[in-house]
Structure 1
Amino acid sequence: MAKDVKIEQLWIPDSLEAPDAADFLAAVEVGRKVRMQTWGSDDLAYGPLEKLLEFADPYERQLILVAKVDGEIVGTVDIALPLTDNLDLAEFTLDILPEFQRQGVGRRLLQAAEQLARNEGRTMILVDTNHPGASLHEFERAQLVPGSGQGFVPLESREVEFAQRTGYTLQHIEQFSSCLLPLDSKLVADLQAEAEDANNGRYRLHHWTDRCPDRWLEAVAVLENQAGADVDPSLQVPVEQDMVFDGAILREAEDVAIAQGRRTVVTAVEHLASGALVGLTTITVLAHRADVVFQDDTLVLQEHRGNKLGLLIKVANMERLTEQFPDARVIYTWNAPENRYLLTVNQQLGFRTAGVTGIWQKELPHLRTSNS
């Protein structure tokens, strides 16, 4: 058990150069070291400026609690409180330096975070655990399957044991994959030919970066809403509700991404006969790290599947990404393991499984108030 663990809320400085920024920089470094330990690289770690910009997000309030031993930060828990929907929800990201794991630091931080969330009126907590591909083979004998959907996490891993001991239930699995960039030009030509052959001139591609053209704005909102309705509700994490999109909400989301320095590369596909947008795919480039990019949503409406549109738009978008951001060397994506359609497309493009993320849930008792 670590001696004299002090839990306190992290002060968020106005800038990284401010004299009071030292603790903030140390907290971000804890996250980087934990990701190095988990994945063998810091590709998935926030840079300090990226993290600082997150605190201006109008859609969620961010807080960080830190654990200190002898004045040094040895663990952090990021707390995200959604502000527009899911107002009963808090999402935690817990990071403990490798040399302070299994010493009670994580439990102390988690209890403090749960207390804070409860004081904010949040009763549903989500927390995730990350498991690299190699550990899945190592622990293959003992598997824990989620409450909904497919996949498993290794039952005997430290993170899974900790989540279960602290009262969390495994709700859902996300498969995590990576693909090296740029794509091989022969592969691109072959895949484009295959996709074009399947859709037989019935569709047209449209591209934009950062801002959707006015002419497609409402069409994208309709597509987002329809695609949300297409998903089998039994595969969703129960507390996640789909936002209803309109043009104003999409413009606001673009403004937030731009304010955070993020770039967004989009390819959409139009069904020529109806003039409707029926598919869309998005890649996000972070503000302060051009070499690592993230594949976000890929949507294709149910009635247009089977025409290789997912393949068509993803190949085109990855090619555009390489033209606009030639420093990008790897792209990461998360998918539900039951989404065979997208996983097959990703495999064709060269994505390889890097691991899985387990999403865990815990319901906190409601606080009784003197007025009730």
Structure 2
Amino acid sequence: MTPSADVGDLSIDELPIPETLDAAGGADFVEMVELRNAIEREILGTDDLAPTARELLAFFHDRYAPKRLFLARLDGRIVGRGVYEWQPEENAPAAFIEVQVARDARRRGVGSALLAQLEAVAAENGLTVIESWSSHPLPTSSDVLVAPTGFGAVDRASPAVRFATAHGYRLEQVDRISRIDLPMDPNAVAERRRDAEAHSADYEVVQWVGRCPDRWLTDMACMHQRMSTDAPAAAIEFAEEHWDDERMRNLDDMNEAGGRLNLTSAALHIPTQRLVGYTDIALPEHEGRPATQEDTLVLKEHRGHRLGMLLKVANLEQLMRVSPASPRITTFNAEENRPMLSVNEAVGFVATGCEAAWKKTVRAER
């Protein structure tokens, strides 16, 4: 590891992403994940969103979302992490970053040093838009920062809010973090499914566990690409992602490498025999840990048939069959995405926290 910045007794080094947890750098990666999870636990009061090092390492090897990792150390102990991610698509506008610092190392310049390192990398890469996300508990005071969308807010006194705004970042969007406890009443879930099916006569549900069947790779790739453009993003900037069969297989490879099991329910449009909507639930490496609701999308041209509700409840039924020990599911949705929030609320999800999206535009050097 080559030192890239020094502030007093603070060192910041880039950690080459280890090939495996047993390879060079693997122990540092594990320590970094433990730090990440401790900070998230401190903020949200739960371990529900704590990935294992194996799970996270798989996604650090995603060639379609490449990443660099920087670690801040004090007296040899990792006290901060900085993650730099970019899109390989041509003309992608933004760098995506994460900065987290251990509680006992804050207000010593660690976060600012990490941020400066990440912003320097963005400048080297010619990227003038920098975007980041931070976790927050639900607001507890009236002194809040409201997203420009008009939906969602975070406490102004939050350390993450103070840090972001002090460094020139603007709040652009707030996502709601919601949770539902399991198991659910199977009769209630079945009733919701029957109600949704009554409004979707031209559609049927197709399901699978694990890898996407070859038959559906192209349809699923099309929908993942649409997810990158159709999901509410406020003023957060992304390049449209390019998805094909190979990228779908890569996603399955990463889930398998990380020990995750993906449960998918998709909506088949019977007249065309094409998939037009899907939802995923990811089961973590260790059985009995909370699951995560991943993407849910219905193509715009097929909305209005209660397919969002149909897919959600169908996948809940699948989850309770495949993993009856799963205690709950957590999901994220943009606060302005009222149709999906309404589906989640009707199913029984309740808000537990929020995630803020931040953006900074810097002047390109001549």
Pairing 1:258–2:279 present: no
- SS of equivalent to 1:194: helix
Of 184-193 and 340-349, deviating more is 184-193
**Structure 1 vs Structure 2 CA RMSD:** 2.6
Q: How much has 1:20 moved relative to structure 2?
A: 5.2
- The one-letter code of the counterpart of 1:336 is A
Q: How much has 1:164 moved relative to structure 2?
A: 0.4
Q: How much has 1:241 moved relative to structure 2?
A: 2.5
Cα distance in structure 1, aligned partners of 2:42 and 2:106: 12
Of 332-341 and 239-248, deviating more is 239-248
Of 76-85 and 174-183, deviating more is 76-85
- SS of equivalent to 2:66: strand
What's 1:93 paired with? 98
What's 2:164 paired with? 163
- The one-letter code of the counterpart of 2:265 is T
Q: How much has 1:331 moved relative to structure 2?
A: 1.2
- SS of equivalent to 1:342: helix
What are the equivalent positions in structure 2 for 1:197-346 lying under 5 Å apart? 197-199=198-200, 201-224=201-224, 235-288=233-286, 291-346=289-344
Q: How much has 1:307 moved relative to structure 2?
A: 2.7
Q: Deviations over 1:188-238 (max 9, x none)?
A: 132123223333x43211111233333333333444556666567xx4444
- SS of equivalent to 1:365: coil
2:12 to 7, 12, 15: 7
- SS of equivalent to 2:237: coil
Of 16-25 and 92-101, deviating more is 16-25
Contact 1:85–1:243 (CA under 8 A) maintained in structure 2: no
Contact 1:220–1:277 (CA under 8 A) maintained in structure 2: yes
Contact 1:176–1:333 (CA under 8 A) maintained in structure 2: yes
What's 2:45 paired with? 40
What's 1:196 paired with? 197
What's 1:74 paired with? 79
Q: How much has 1:352 moved relative to structure 2?
A: 0.7
Q: Deviations over 1:76-96 (max 9, x none)?
A: 112223223564422112111
- In 2 relative to 1, CA 367–306 (structure 1 residues): closer, same or farther, beyond 3 Å? same
- In 2 relative to 1, CA 329–86 (structure 1 residues): closer, same or farther, beyond 3 Å? farther
Cα distance in structure 1, aligned partners of 2:21 and 2:213: 35
- In 2 relative to 1, CA 325–84 (structure 1 residues): closer, same or farther, beyond 3 Å? farther
Question: How many residues of Structure 1 are paired with residues of Structure 2 in the alignment?
Answer: 360
What's 1:150 paired with? 151
Cα distance in structure 1, aligned partners of 2:221 and 2:30: 38
Q: Deviations over 1:149-176 (max 9, x none)?
A: 6212222222111100011111111111
- SS of equivalent to 1:243: coil
Q: How much has 1:9 moved relative to structure 2?
A: 1.8
What's 2:182 paired with? 181
- SS of equivalent to 1:94: strand
Contact 1:227–1:300 (CA under 8 A) maintained in structure 2: no
Contact 1:11–1:24 (CA under 8 A) maintained in structure 2: no
TM-score relative to the length of structure 1:
0.86
- SS of equivalent to 1:291: coil
Q: How much has 1:299 moved relative to structure 2?
A: 1.5
Cα distance in structure 2, aligned partners of 1:297 and 1:223: 10
TM-score relative to the length of structure 2:
0.88
**Percent of pairs with identical residues:** 34
What's 1:114 paired with? 119
Cα distance in structure 2, aligned partners of 1:334 and 1:147: 19
Q: How much has 1:143 moved relative to structure 2?
A: 2.2
Contact 1:285–1:292 (CA under 8 A) maintained in structure 2: yes
- SS of equivalent to 1:198: coil
Contact 1:282–1:317 (CA under 8 A) maintained in structure 2: yes
Q: How much has 1:19 moved relative to structure 2?
A: 7.0
Cα distance in structure 2, aligned partners of 1:248 and 1:65: 29
Q: How much has 1:7 moved relative to structure 2?
A: 1.8
- The one-letter code of the counterpart of 2:357 is I
Contact 2:134–2:357 (CA under 8 A) maintained in structure 1: yes
